[in-house]
Structure 1
Amino acid sequence: MKWALLLLFIASAVYVHLRGRVRHRFGRQLLDHSTFMAPVNVLMYAFSRVPNTAYLDDPGRHFPELAPLREHWQDIRAEALRLRELQHIKAADGYNDVGFNSFFRRGWKRFYLKWYDDAHPSAAELCPRTTALLRGIPSVKAAMFTELPPGGELRPHRDPFAGSLRLHLGLDTPNDDGCYIDVDGIRYSWRDGEWTMFDETFIHGARNETQQNRIILFCDVERPMKYRWAQWLNRFVARHLVAAGASPNMEGDKTGGINRVFKYFYALRLKAKGLRERNQRLYYGLKYLAVILVVALIAWI
């Protein structure tokens, strides 16, 4: 049984690596967090009620409940612009946003509206219209305003869990092809009042090569599944793992368990980066050895 499970894990990881036209180098994918989620993600793909494509054409057709967001995009935009004036769309104040920590170094900023729960208290107070709209759409599990300033970028990456699809609604954008997201090699340029939906477990990255700022509404929408057991699994993982990544906008907002301990892991990460700068061969050797030991432990058990 254990060998069957090990082979299943390896097959799932290989499928995740080969999925799509754009791929990480094998060494990077081996250590990527999506590799460890591969068996669960393969089930999400296999029993998804929506197509497993990089972009999902016409989000409103697959998710009609999202229509109020597009209909009231100007109201949402007004609250986002007010937040920007108050400088509340920003990087995390400390090491308490493990999911997006690496993005902050290249200009990306955010203000959480909700994260697998009801609205953050700060969001309910500062964005009453937007949070009210989101409250009426239970399939939206997470939402935030995100900003990408001129020259900002997100390096190519893939998200770890396939239980959701990502919606981007343009609010205050350059309306220019120089400000874009690239998902599996296909570019989409944001426009005010327009939206796109994509599978964030395909490799994707973004750049703003214009001289204007970009603000969008960013939502994670629950992936609909063909069977109740698959929907239950999706929600179980979201509730017990993804929800632990909650990050605060300000004091009084919820901080998930993963983010409460992230600062300690980040201290170790800084030491690991120091080792990489001093001796890359030793650094990568130790990382690969750790993976081999984990696989060997699974085989031994």
Structure 2
Amino acid sequence: MVKWLFVFLFLASAVYVHFRGKVRHRLGRQLLDHSTFMAPVNVLMYAFSRVPTTAFIPEPGDHFPELEPLRANWQVIREEARRLRELQHIKAAEGYNDVGFNSFFRRGWKRFYLKWYDDAHPSAAELCPQTTALLRQIPSVKAAMFTELPPGGELRPHRDPFAGSLRLHLGLETPNDDACFIEVDGNRYSWRDGQWTMFDETFIHSARNDTQSNRIILFCDVERPMKYRWAQALNRFIARNLIAAGASPNMEGDKTGGINRLFKYFYVLRLKAKGLRERNKNLYYGLKYLAVVLVVAFIVWI
């Protein structure tokens, strides 16, 4: 009886996540999306969130006053980002060691990690001392990076797997043009220098830069505040033991998390799967759906 209760709760959570918001993936894609497997945890995050669970969070400073030093010092942060860009340190991963953002690199997106669920990367502490000093004063910022979206760059529609954080974007060097934008659950925001926005990254979102100018922002994952201590503890446990394993290096000497150390081996299988998809799309998708069915059958069997 308990087993079937868990199965029902998992399926109900997955259905809720799929239909949440105005924009959704095709059902076939959603079945295989990582957010489906995190659905029961994410539903708890939404249910006990102390901030709105809308696509965009209005007035981030009202909900997170501790973030104000970032906006107040945006020009200082911009200077360090500009220096990094001149040194060509804002870049794609040099190997298969950034599973969380690997697909983004193919369409122009670049990044330089400042921190990832820990203290600053050694490279960031050395090259961006003022920005990392500001971040150290704000424990609720769990991850931070500079991200670049060049002219013609884009991020295809996707949703992040874990609802334990909210995403903050602070414009540093942007086109200041409505043709450079992010769209979250069908709602569009165009970046501007010195201005910020916060959104729930578990809604489907995408981004484009259809201008002739570069776009650099400060990108932060901010811990979602919860109504109860047990919910906050659960959020932090998952972040510390799962999300932190996604750490990716900027350069030699930076930490690489366990998930990313394994990713290079997984990517070999992924390349073979892509080859199969090119040769026989029906067989490829048939095997993917069969794998999902087998996982569900195993859960029911145990």
Post-superposition Cα deviations, 1:184-215, rounded to whole Å, max 9, x if no partner, equal 00000000000000000000000000000000
Q: Distance in 2 between matches of 1:27 and 1:14?
A: 13
Spell out the pairing of 1:1-301 with structure 2 (5 A cutoff). 1-301=2-302
SS of match in other structure, 1:105: helix
Q: How far did 1:29 drift? A: 0.2
SS of match in other structure, 2:155: strand
Paired residue total? 301
Q: CA RMSD in A?
A: 0.2
Consecutive unaligned residues of structure 1, counting only runs of 5 or more, are: none
Q: Distance in 2 between matches of 1:138 and 1:90?
A: 26
Q: How far did 1:266 drift? A: 0.3
Amino acid at match of 2:240: R
Q: Distance in 2 between matches of 1:290 and 1:96?
A: 25
Post-superposition Cα deviations, 1:225-279, rounded to whole Å, max 9, x if no partner, equal 0000000000000000000000000000000000001000000000000000000
SS of match in other structure, 1:211: coil
Post-superposition Cα deviations, 1:31-70, rounded to whole Å, max 9, x if no partner, equal 0000000000000000000010000000000000000000
Q: Distance in 2 between matches of 1:53 and 1:8?
A: 23
Amino acid at match of 2:220: C
Q: Distance in 2 between matches of 1:269 and 1:6?
A: 29
Q: How far did 1:154 drift? A: 0.2
Q: Distance in 1 between matches of 2:195 and 2:135?
A: 17
Identity of aligned residues (%): 85
TM-score (norm 1): 1.00
Q: How far did 1:124 drift? A: 0.1
SS of match in other structure, 1:146: strand
Q: Distance in 1 between matches of 2:258 and 2:243?
A: 10
Q: Distance in 2 between matches of 1:51 and 1:175?
A: 27
Q: How far did 1:109 drift? A: 0.0
Amino acid at match of 1:248: P
Q: How far did 1:27 drift? A: 0.2
Q: Distance in 1 between matches of 2:124 and 2:143?
A: 12
SS of match in other structure, 1:196: strand
Runs (4+) off by over 2 Å: none
